[in-house]
Amino acid sequence: MNLNELIRDVPDFPKKGIVFKDITTLLKDGPAFAEVINMFKKRYEDKRVDKVAGIESRGFIFGGALANLLNCGFIPVRKPGKLPYDTISEDYSLEYGTNSLEIHTDAVAEGENILIIDDLLATGGTAEAVVKLIKRLKGNIIGVEFLIELDFLNGRKKLEGYPVNSLINY
């Protein structure tokens, strides 16, 4: 199965000059979605994963399904004001703006093995912010997974020192 063929390009979204990689066309294909989750699972099924941290919002889709298959916990990493308990936050830059992410202060116990997952690696700012949050909570990052990586934006450089994998590269 060629996963690239299931990704739709949407020009000028969310703003002019950006070509958005729309994954909804892949998600609606049950066998393709299952294949993606199983590809992620195969990389970690023989490792101790305590929790999967999914980045809002599309990282929740992959992270929840993967945590279920790995029989581990799931951590939602969210935009400000969305989590109901005590949080810590980290600011980051996007290719088209800035934002902040939050995580519950009790989401990670010291020394737990955490797998971070999101749909897209672009400039790396979002994933770098999550790495910083997990490290502040004294978690051990065992991998950072993406469905898609935009190689020309060099986001991987912000994640040096951590295992980074992408299923589709552009």
Report the DSSP pairing between strands 140-149 and 113-121. Answer: parallel
- Give the active site residue among 58, 90, 136, 160: 58
- Give the active site residue among 95, 128, 149, 156: 95
Is 95 noted as a catalytic residue in this protein?
yes
The 3-state secondary structure of 74-104, one letter per residue: EEEEECCCCCCCCEEEEEEEECCEEEEEEEE
Phi, psi of 30 (to 5 degrees): -50, -50
Q: Tokens for 58?
A: 């599309």
Is 58 noted as a catalytic residue in this protein?
yes
Catalytic residues: 58, 95
